[in-house]
């Protein structure tokens, strides 16, 4: 009777421990802040200004909860402020470096739900308590991946209109092998279609041709 109670206690403790271990499949959301201008003295009502920061592995863990650099993708954090009365189009096609779709980056850093479940499933053939964390971990991994997808999409810059006195803020993902610190972004003025070029070296562009 005592031996049976010990076995039951052991199984119970095993289940609790295994469920606890399976809880490592998670995703933590951390808001992406707006970057402050580095040349604020040049900003006026006839300018567009860009601030940027090249992510480190530590930044990736802080704001993306995954080291995407280790997977071959370099995130660049960009904040663009339109301090003029012009509407402008931002497009990733006018970024001087090749960019990677955010869906592809997110998928690359997903928690491997199938692989983790297979390990637990195999162990469950010999010890049934492993079947419980297999189920719990599978659900947790799927939820973490969904949360990751939504957060990556929210933080990634997309083709969009930059209205007067508006700011856009987000990430651009570039293949590590293609990254160049001297990059450029060309905005397109909506009425005249004239390009407004911002670069890492010259992040502020003056706009002399104003319209009412």
Please report the pLDDT score of residue 73 as a whole number: 98
Q: Which of 74-78, 155-159, 193-197, 207-211 has the lowest mean pLDDT?
A: 207-211
Q: Which residue has the tokens 């009365």?
A: 85
For residue 178, count other CB atoms closer than 10 A to its CB: 11
DSSP 32: P
N residues, the chain: 212
pLDDT band (50, 70, 90) for residue 42:
low
pLDDT reading at 75 higher than 70: yes
Instruction: Report how far residue 73's alpha carbon sits from residue 194's, in angstroms, rounded to the nearest whole number.
Output: 31
83: Cβ–Cβ under 8 A, 6 or more apart, which residues? 43, 44, 45, 46, 47, 48, 49, 165
For residue 65, count other CB atoms closer than 10 A to its CB: 19
Q: What is the pLDDT of residues 85-117, one digit of tens each?
A: 999 999 999 999 999 999 999 999 998 754 444
Quick one: residue 165, left, alpha or beta (phi over 0 = left, psi -120 to 50 = alpha)? left
Check if the beta carbon of residue 76 is closer than 8 Å to that of residue 53: yes
**Greater pLDDT, 27 or 112:** 27
pLDDT reading at 186 higher than 90: yes
pLDDT reading at 176 higher than 60: yes
Instruction: Report how far residue 157's alpha carbon sits from residue 142's, in angstroms, rounded to the nearest whole number.
Output: 25
Q: What is the pLDDT of residues 16-26, one digit of tens each?
A: 444 444 445 78
Mean pLDDT value across the chain:
81
pLDDT band (50, 70, 90) for residue 182:
very high
Q: In what helix (H) or strand (E) does residue 181 lie, and over which residues does it extend?
A: none
SS3 state at 142? helix
């Amino acid at each position: 009777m005592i031996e049976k109670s010990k076995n039951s206690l052991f199984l119970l403790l095993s289940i609790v421990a295994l469920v606890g271990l399976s809880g490592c499949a998670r995703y933590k959301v951390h808001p992406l802040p707006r970057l402050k201008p580095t040349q604020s003295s040049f900003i006026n009502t006839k300018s567009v200004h860009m601030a940027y920061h090249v992510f480190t592995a530590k930044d990736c863990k802080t704001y993306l909860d995954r080291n995407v650099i280790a997977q071959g993708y370099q995130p660049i954090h960009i904040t663009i402020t339109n301090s003029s009365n012009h509407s402008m189009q931002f497009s990733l096609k006018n970024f001087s470096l090749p960019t990677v779709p955010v869906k592809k980056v997110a998928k690359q850093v997903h928690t491997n739900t199938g692989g983790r479940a297979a390990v637990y499933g195999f162990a469950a053939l010999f010890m049934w308590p492993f079947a419980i964390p297999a189920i719990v971990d599978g659900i947790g991994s799927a939820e973490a991946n969904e949360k990751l997808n939504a957060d990556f999409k929210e933080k990634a810059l997309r083709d969009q209109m930059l209205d007067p006195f508006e700011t856009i803020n987000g990430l651009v993902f570039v293949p590590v092998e293609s990254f160049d610190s001297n990059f450029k972004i060309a905005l397109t003025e909506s009425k005249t279609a004239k390009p407004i070029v911002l670069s890492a070296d010259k992040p502020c562009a003056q706009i002399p041709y104003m319209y009412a």
